[in-house]
Structure 1
Amino acid sequence: MDLKEHLKNGIIVGDGAMGTYLYQKGVQGCFEELNLSDPEQIKHIHELYINAGADIIQTNTYAANSSKLARYQLGDCVKEINEKAVDIAREAAAGKAFVAATIGGVATMHQEKMPLEERLESLKEQTDVLLAADVDGFLLETFYDFEELKEILHYLRSKTEKPIIAQATLGDIGVLHTGMHLQEALEQLEEIGADVAGVNCRMGPYHMLQSLEEVSLLEKAGISVYPNASLPNVRDGRFSYQSNPTYFGDMTKALVEEGAVLIGGCCGTTPDHIREIRAAIERDNLTPVKQKQVRTKARHPFVEAEPQLPKLTDLNEGEKSVIVELDPPKALSGVPSFMEGARALTDSGVNAVTLADNSLASARIDNLALGTKIKDAGARPLLHVACRDRNIIGLQSHLLGMHELGIRDILAITGDPAKVGDFPGATSVYDMSSMDLIRLIKQLNQGQSFSGKDLGAKTSFTVGAAFNANARRLDREVQRLEKKVEAGADYFMSQPVYSSERIEEIAEAVKHLPVPVYIGIMPLVSSRNAEFLHHEVPGIKLTDEVREQMRSLSGDREASEKEGIRLATELIDTAMKHFSTIYLITPFLRYNITETLTRHIRAQEKRTAGSRG
């Protein structure tokens, strides 16, 4: 009987973890490289699983694609490592178990992803090697990107008639991290050609059982489940899992009753877990179920989102949208002045006051707290949210808190690295890039958490993205803006520009974008300020003429400030010819300067409207 027939006629026991099993034994580095350097150890682990009762073992090739092997300078060893893995597994099986060639996903759940085309190129290279090898079937596992899984399944099915087991990875109970229900995902895998469709990793038996309870049996394909041993624990920097083989055995009958025909183990599982699965199947004489009752999960009523504030960029003809940045102070004593500045700017006619998120990695009073205060005082806050200081959990929590406080406008930024700031030794998190953060915010606007869980209501954020207007290759920077638009950016806010000619170049370069660009203008206050910005702040460049003008007034505070305002006014006048959206940055909390510039914009706006009338 071949594997395909075997999968149709009984409950099949898979093997357990390879990577975490080696890790718990103290092995470090690339586990797939051991196929070459220590084949006997890999063979021994295969034999342990077979002796424990596994009907099918996986080749040690989960991460044996060029993308992942490149991390260990092994990117050119794909063929050698995969072929050797098959030889080892085949020798260990010795006719007592089937051998499935394992292909693992490339994408992770977070961080800006490698383009799908590049990931598929890497996976297809590995797949082609395994297609030519002596295997009984294929097992696709731990795919966080469902599109990646579908594409490689399409490719593999077009090349072989051998059985394919395709397993997605859940984001939350019953859903992928895009929010797709597990039922839909399994049906799509079945439609493409999977003989068995299922789930693996991230969750233990309890949560996977809850997920299967919401899934009906498939018409043609079987269902597989490869749970983790438990939720992971971390101690002294090392991950570990509960030692719970008996519990795995106890859960086996329930998993079979929910439709599973192939049960194995993922992270943290050992031969002991597989032995208990086998014992439970034999003890209870378990066979595939032919029908089941699907349990509908009780859901809270979906709460309609509050009416969204008018967008900052929803303008009438001739109107200008002006946002002004006012940095939160570093000291508590600066709060009264900050609040006065927010009131003065609002009175001068700004559409929103934008607050940075610990810019230049220097600790300031929390912008959410101050944003809430100025909102209560009548201003409209636009908060920067940096990826540097919060992991994914913290980012989602922070965003949901913002929504509950009635703050709807966000600038998503990566954030300056911690090492540039005033806290030596502080670490940067960077679970996400700004692009990922934009996608997360848009997912929240659909009522789904990062994991895909139903939030019970939709958020109503508008999200801006940063634009390095001083990039040496403006065309490449605009290409990045196009990708941010695809991710969901509603508008852009540029770095400060100090040249009228550059403003005109930018206007030409971005005119095709379907979203507005707030052109950034930050008035100078001194020659020293100008030199610091030019030489030390990434993304800002001043012309020689501007620096010389400020240098000529060095030492005269009042004259320098007036000259800074004059230069900024010239830039504003140029910008107003090309942009309806202006972004003013307040230097050193001297809000009187940006208040003056805002009043200039409003006056110019009135004069223009008067001349048209």
Structure 2
Amino acid sequence: MSHPLIDLLAGGTVVFDGAMGTELYKRNHFVNICFDELSLRDPKVVREVHEASRKAGADVLTTNSFGANRYKLADYLLAERTKEIAAAAARIAREVAGRELLVAGSVGPLGRHASGGALSPHEAVDAFAEAIVALMEGGADFILFETFARSRDLGFAVEAARGLGAPYLPCMAFGDIASSLGGESIDEFFAPCLGAGAGAAAPLMLGFNCSVGPKQMLDNLQDFVPRSTLPVLAMPNAGAPQRINDRMFYMTSPEYFASYAKRFAELGVKAVGGCCGTGPEHIAEAARALKALDRAGAAGVAGVAGAVSLEVVGGAAPVECAPLAQRSAFGRALAEGRWVTSVEIVPPTGWDLAKTVERAKRCAEAGVHAINIPDGPRASARVSPMITSQRIQAEAGIEAVLHVTCRDRNLIGVQSDLLGCAAAGINNLLIITGDPPKLGDYPYATAVFDLDSIGLVRVAQRLNVGLDIGGKPVAPPTRFVLGVGADPTNLDQEREIERFFRKAEAGAEYAITQPVYDPEALIAYIERVRFTGVRIIAGIWPLASYNNALFLNNEVPGVSIPESIMERMRKAGDKESARRVGIETAREILDAVRPYVAGVQVSAPFGNVETALAVLAEE
């Protein structure tokens, strides 16, 4: 088979572009409009996306025509403009591609299933043919059938392409396992393309796109790629989207995406691109990694794990992250496996930090390793935790562990504050999503949540390798010790565990748990996450009274106190007796979990560090 795409494959791994819809959305075109029509109504923005993909290093540009068929366009009263819209999409892509790059004419499912009887086979084939003709006449080099879930629907699309003599590349959308969203195996799904007599009408490649992230797609392709008789294209999503305040965010970093692009190539995948959530930044990292890998292969050089990510191939590239032991004293203790202790002190609601600094000094004198500084716990307004941390480190002679939340800052503000932390010498971070304002004293305050904790860990990790959120170099790189939260008693344990894995994958090095009152729950949790290598620090909150226990159990997110402890606090009696029982209970919990954890963080109830130190007294 002679085709420019086949010729391109002979020169190494081919890079397709990322998601058109994601980029249009970023440019303030919202999902309730017809993205396909933008090729007519706002061709400049479509051209900008293609130009960004070309600059990123894509070899193939995909037209803005995924939904450009008569049935989907009918929802926008645009069915009669199908040919015009598809042809315009192809022309724009061709203008940007020139003759150096290839153009894939994107054709998605019709939106009505001929396989389900909504359309006749003739109607389905005719609708696909209409779009294909317009795309090829507009300048597409081949047709890319994207995100198909059923072989019968794909069969009608393939029939249309074959009838027109159009070269085509079919793509299957995976379900949760190595089968299509329609429940068919890979072989069953591609049967319409590979049946007897396909001959010259066979597809250029076999593709897989959308529905799953890089890891799931790689897992699903392990058995198929080595036995495929045709080259394979992989275009995963940027992981799974996360819902934050009714908005969906994809958190997969470009570096993580590129690491999987390399793994796809090592498996034998011949072309890699991106689907939902991926943009030029993901494609740029993937292109650098793949081209470096191709050069290493051509030179017969055995690759070293991680080497590709450190090679500078045009533009900014990551540098090596400083070893954990060199980033802070707290980090050194973790790296060396020493037992670490910290005390949590909440910043005051006023601006006077004198008492806070004195409490930190008392902890330092007692041999505590660090002071944990929460960031607006329970959505309260307090003096800046960053300033509090800076004062403590400067005046109390003890390191701070600064809590950083996603609630109050947009992405730019987050990066600015992180750079400020580095400038102030605050290197120990505990990154958490944060409590929404409605839980606090100011329920009408606006929650930002541009990121969740997973995304923020990735931002901080990028700074640790000398890259900002836009891929620009940061010199020198930051030296953050990256911690996250963990909730062993979360009611949705499967989601909690899955998120912990993603935090580890993003770069977390230690985790501090929510207050532990059920040692068995923590131990079971640790057994499930131990293999990640993330060091677990147990959160211990000595109860001050029965009322304090009631409040924590009912009003503080992530806290669950067993009835047996509640009963002990109820029977404790006066204030001093209750304090003593709270300390005894905390010590018992600490003794039970100590063999399983790397250290302990003890909260100072109502600012009383003597209570926290009493829990640690026998350490």
Tell me the TM-score range normalised by the shorter chain: 0.5 to 0.7
- Give how far 1:495 is off: 1.2
**CA distance 1:150–1:442, change in 2 (3 Å):** same
The structure number with the bigger radius of gyration is 1
**Alignment of 1:41 onto 2:59:** no
For the structure 1 residues 511 and 454, does the alpha-carbon distance in structure 2 shift closer, same or farther, using more than 3 Å as the test?
closer
1:79–1:395 Cα change, 3 Å? farther
Identity of paired residues, percent?
26
Tell me by how many angstroms 1:140 deviates. Answer: 9.0
Alignment pair present for 1:178 and 2:255: yes
1:526-576, Cα deviation, whole Å (9 max, x unpaired)? 22211111122222111223223333456x434433332333233334344
What secondary structure does 1:42 align onto? helix
Return 368-377 or 302-311, whichever deviates more: 302-311
Matched residue, 2:129: 87
AA paired with 1:410? Answer: L
Distance in 2 between residues matched to 1:522 and 1:328, nearest whole Å:
17
Shift of 1:463: 1.6
Instruction: Provide the residue aligned with 1:588 in structure 2.
Output: 606
2:373 equivalent in structure 1: 355
CA–CA distance in 2 between the matches of 1:440 and 1:24? 25
Equivalent position of 2:302 in the other structure: none
Matches within 5 A, 1:257-336: 307-312=326-331, 314=333, 320-333=339-352, 335-336=353-354
Residue 461 (1) aligns with residue 538 (2): no
* Partner AA of 1:4 in structure 2: P
What is the match of residue 420 of structure 2? 401
> What is the match of residue 538 of structure 1?
557
Matched, 1:345 2:371: no
Q: Residues 48 and 25 (structure 1 numbering): CA distance in 2 closer, same or farther, change over 3 Å?
A: farther
Q: What is the match of residue 364 of structure 1?
A: 382
SS in 1 for 2:468: coil
- Distance (Å, rounded) in 1 between the aligned partners of 2:558 and 2:608: 22
CA contact (8 A) 2:93 2:103 kept: no
Aligned-pair CA distance for 1:51? 7.9
Tell me which amino acid in the other structure corresponds to 2:144: A
Quickly say closer, same or farther: Cα 1:429–1:547, change in 2 above 3 A. same
Residue 566, structure 1, aligned to residue 584, structure 2: yes
Paired residues of 1:530 and 1:547 also in contact (CA < 8 A): yes
SS at match of 2:143: strand
| Residue in structure 2 matched with residue 386 of structure 1 by the alignment | 405
Question: Aligned letter for 1:42?
Answer: T
Shift of 1:451: 4.0
CA-to-partner distance for each residue in 1:30-64, whole Å, 9 max, x for gaps? 865663142323322124467889599765547x6
User: Structure 1 counterpart of 2:362, which letter?
Assistant: A
Q: Distance in 1 between matches of 2:258 and 2:499?
A: 32
Per-residue CA deviations over 1:397-445 (Å, capped at 9, x if unaligned) read 3223212221221112122223322222333333333233333333333
Alignment counterpart, residue 492 of structure 1, candidates 511, 536, 545: 511
Cα 1:401–1:138 change in 2 (3 A) is farther
Whichever residue aligns with residue 537 of structure 1, its letter is V
Per-residue deviation, residues 91-111 of structure 1 (Å, max 9, x unmatched): 435867545226489xxxxxx
Q: Measured at CA, do residues 527 and 153 of structure 1 come closer, stay the same or move farther in structure 2, by a change above 3 Å?
A: closer
1:59 and 1:89 in contact (8 A); partners too:
no
Determine helix, strand or coil for the equivalent of 1:441. Answer: helix
Q: Distance in 1 between matches of 2:278 and 2:497?
A: 39
| Alpha-carbon distance in 2 for matches of 1:594, 1:375 | 19
Where does structure 2 lack aligned partners over 5 or more consecutive residues?
9-18, 37-65, 96-101, 149-172, 194-200, 239-252, 296-311
Please report the RMSD computed on the Cα atoms of aligned residues, expressed in angstroms.
5.9
**Structure 1 match to 2:33:** 28
Change (3 A) 1:146 1:559: closer
Q: Distance in 2 between matches of 1:511 and 1:303?
A: 25
1:519-558 aligned within 5 A: 519-553=538-572, 556-558=574-576
For 1:352 and 1:450, the matched residues in 2 are separated by 29
SS in 1 for 2:333: coil
Amino acid at match of 2:254: H
Q: Is the 8 A contact 2:174 2:181 kept in 1?
A: no
The answer to whether the Cα contact below 8 Å between 2:501 and 2:529 also exists between their aligned partners in 1 is: no
Aligned-partner Cα distance in 1 for 2:20–2:593: 60
Determine the C-alpha separation between the residues in 2 that align with 1:374 and 1:314. Answer: 19
1:350 positional shift: 1.0
AA matched with 2:83 = K
- Residue range with higher mean Cα deviation, 509-518 or 398-407: 509-518
Query: Following superposition of structure 1 onto structure 2, how do residues 426-505 of structure 1 map, counting pairs within 5 Å?
Result: 426-471=445-490, 481-499=500-518
Instruction: Please state how far the C-alpha of 1:122 moved relative to its aligned partner.
Output: 6.3
**Is the CA contact (8 Å cut-off) linking 1:177 and 1:452 kept in structure 2?**
no
Deviation at 1:381, TM superposition (A): 0.4
For 1:567, the aligned partner's letter is: T
In structure 2, C-alpha distance between the alignment counterparts of 1:141 and 1:365, rounded to whole Å: 51
Give the letter for the 1:178 counterpart: E
Question: TM-score, normalised on structure 1?
Answer: 0.60
The secondary structure found in structure 2 opposite 1:584 is strand
- SS in structure 2 opposite 1:594? helix
The range that moved more, 130-139 or 469-478, is: 130-139
Q: Which residue number corresponds to residue 143 of structure 2?
A: 100
Is the CA contact 1:322–1:582 (under 8 Å) kept in the aligned structure 2?
A: yes
The SS at the match of 2:255 is coil
CA contact (8 A) 1:79 1:129 kept: no
Distance 2:470 2:613 in 1: 43
**Gap change, CA 1:414 and 1:2, over 3 Å in 2:** same
- TM-score where L is the length of structure 2: 0.60
Partner residue in 2 for 1:256: none
In structure 2, the CA distance between the partners of 1:89 and 1:379, relative to structure 1 (3 Å rule), is same
Q: Residues 129, 489 of structure 1: CA spacing in aligned structure 2 closer, same or farther, 3 A cutoff? A: same
CA contact (8 A) 2:390 2:424 kept: yes
Give the equivalent residue in structure 1 for 2:4.
4
The alpha-carbon distance between structure 1 residues 41 and 131, as it changes in their structure 2 partners (threshold 3 A), is farther
